[in-house]
Structure 1
C-alpha cells in the first residue's frame, strides 16, 4: 500500500497528476491519498446551520490511522510505503511512530517519504513568521483569523462567478502551460468557494505555528527507531518559504548521516522544485520520487 498524506490545504485533487505518474510506473501499488478531515469539496444541499468543526493535528493523524485500520483488517503484516507533503510529513512521522508502538496495527513500514517537510519550527520560516504575526494581531483585536477568512471566502463566492475566479487564479498561479493545471485550478476554486474548508485550513495553520516546534526527543526517537527495517527519504526545496534555511540545515546535520536515511536538497534555479510542487510541478517531482 502506498499512502500520501497531503499538506495544508489537504485536498486530494492537488496530488492526482503526481500519483497518476507513480501509479503508471508502479502498477503493483494500491495507492490512497485521503483529503484531510473537514476538507469536503461537495457543496451542501442547504446552508449549514452548525458552526464549522475544527479537526486538529491530532484528529487528522487519528483520521489517517483509522483509514489504515480499515485497509488492513487482517493480522498478517502488510507492507506500507508512506509519503507526507509539508505538514503532512509531520503527520506521517506521528502516524509511523504510532504504528511502530501498536501491536494491533500489523503494518510493516518499508519507506517513509518526507516532501518539503515542515517537521520543525514552522513558525520560524519566512511565511510562518509572517502568518504568526498576522494571526497574533487579529486575535489581539478579538478577531478569529479562521472565521474572518471564511467570511471573506463566502463573500467572494457570492459576488464573483466561477469563470472569473478561475481567470484570476490562472493569471495569478501561472497555470496555463502546465499539464496538471486542471486539477490544481479545480482544487483551488473548491477552497475559495467553500468557507468551511477555509476555516479548517486557517485553523489548522494556526495550530501548526503553535505546535510544530523543535521536539528534539521525538525527532531523535523517530529517526533512530524507524530506520531499522525501512528507509527514510526527505526532499527539501532550495528556497522554501515554509522551511527556513537554518531549520533545514539543522535537520540535515542531525539526521542525514543515519543509516537508511537519504536527504536531498533541490538544486534550485528556474526549474527548481518548489514547496507547493503539486500546483504545477507534479510530473517533474514524480520523476524525482521514482
Structure 2
C-alpha cells in the first residue's frame, strides 16, 4: 500500500514539503499533529515560517482521520484511538519508504488534542522494534495541550452541557448539508469574511494574508462538508469523556521519555480549553529543576496575544516563539 492509498483509507490529508536546503549529514523531519478540527490548512503558514528558520527540516502535517474534504464515502466516525493509529501508520510508512541512507531525526509539534494523540503515537513508534534503525526521536513540543481533564476547562464545561442537552451534532451537520445545497463556495467564503468568522490581519503583509487565506479555506471546508462537521463534533464529544486524569501516560511521557528526549510545553496565558488548575498541576507534577535542560514549560504572557487558536490568526507571532523554543532545547 502506498502512502497515498493509506491516507485515502483513513480519509486524511497529508501536507508534505521537502527541505529548503538538504543537510547531507542529517535527515531531519518536523511532524505536526493538529488539534480539533484537524485540518492542515490552519497550520501551513506556521510550518512555512518555521522551515524558513530551519531550512534543513522536511515538513509533514497529517490531518485527522475523517477530515478529508474531498472524501465522498459514507460517514464513518474516527475516534481518538483511530487518530493515534492513523498517524502512527502514516509516519511509519513515510520513514520506511525513506530514500536516504541515514535514519530520520524526528521533531514533533502538536496542538491541543493533538498533544494527547502525539504522546500515545510516539509510544507506538518507540515500541515498534522494526523502526529502531529508521528513526531517532529528538524533540516533542506540546502546544496548549489538552492532555488532562479537558472537560474541566471553561469550554469543556460548556460543550459538555451542549452535548448532554441538545442534538447539536445532528443539527449542525444537517445545517451544513442545507447550506452546501443552497449556497456556492464563493458565497460561503463571503459569509465567513463578512461576519469575521476568521479575522482579517491588521497589517496586510504577504505572510499574514496567506495565513488568512489558508484559515478561511479551512473554515470553508468545515462549514461546507457535513461529514467534517459530524467528525469534528463527535470527536470533541469523545474528548470530553475520555481525556481525564491520564496519569500513567503523563508519568511515562515526562519522566521516562523526558529523560531522553527534548520536551517543550507551551501554555497560553488564558486558555478556555485548559483549566488553570490543570495547567498548574501538570507543571507541579512534571517540572523537574534537575532536568530543566531537557523539559521546558513555557507560559505565555497576557500581552503576547497568543490564544488556544493561534494557528488561525497568530501564526507569525507563534512561529517566532516556536523557533526560539527549538533553538533553546537543541
Common topology (TM > 0.5)? yes
CA distance in 2, matches of 1:224, 1:137: 40
For residue 97 of structure 1, report the CA deviation from its aligned partner: 1.8
Which of 163, 166, 169 is 1:135 aligned to?
163
2:4 aligned partner: none
Higher mean alpha-carbon deviation, 108-117 vs 152-161, is at 152-161
CA distance in 2, matches of 1:241, 1:23: 29
For residue 26 of structure 1, report the CA deviation from its aligned partner: 1.1
CA distance in 2, matches of 1:175, 1:162: 19
Is the partner of 1:33 in helix, strand or coil? Answer: strand
For residue 76 of structure 1, report the CA deviation from its aligned partner: 6.9
Q: Is the 8 A contact 1:61 1:91 kept in 2?
A: yes
Q: Is the 8 A contact 2:92 2:125 kept in 1?
A: no
Distance 1:176 1:221, change over 3 A: closer
Is the partner of 1:110 in helix, strand or coil? Answer: strand
For residue 42 of structure 1, report the CA deviation from its aligned partner: 2.2
For residue 59 of structure 1, report the CA deviation from its aligned partner: 0.6
1:90 aligned partner: 116
Higher-RCO chain (CA-CA 8 Å, sequence separation at least 6): 1
RMSD: 1.8
Matched, 1:27 2:21: no
Higher mean alpha-carbon deviation, 68-77 vs 271-280, is at 68-77
Gaps of 5+ in 2: 1-28, 203-207, 324-330
1:40 aligned partner: 68
2:327 aligned partner: none
Distance 1:282 1:176, change over 3 A: closer
Q: Deviations over 1:226-271 (max 9, x none)?
A: 12321110111111110011111111111122621101110022x4
For residue 43 of structure 1, report the CA deviation from its aligned partner: 6.6
CA distance in 1, matches of 2:185, 2:250: 44
Distance 1:226 1:43, change over 3 A: closer
For residue 176 of structure 1, report the CA deviation from its aligned partner: 4.4
Q: Is the 8 A contact 1:146 1:200 kept in 2?
A: no
Moved over 4 A (4+): 74-77
Aligned residue pairs: how many?
279
Q: Deviations over 1:103-132 (max 9, x none)?
A: 122222110000011110111000011000
Normalised by the size of structure 1, how large is the TM-score? 0.91
CA distance in 2, matches of 1:61, 1:54: 14
Is the partner of 1:8 in helix, strand or coil? Answer: coil
Matched, 1:232 2:263: yes
Gaps of 5+ in 1: none
CA distance in 1, matches of 2:102, 2:212: 41
CA distance in 2, matches of 1:240, 1:168: 27
2:287 aligned partner: 256
Q: Is the 8 A contact 2:147 2:246 kept in 1?
A: no
Normalised by the size of structure 2, how large is the TM-score? 0.80
Q: How do 1:5-84 residues align onto structure 2 when only pairs under 5 Å count?
A: 5-42=33-70, 44=72, 50=74, 52-73=75-96, 77-84=103-110
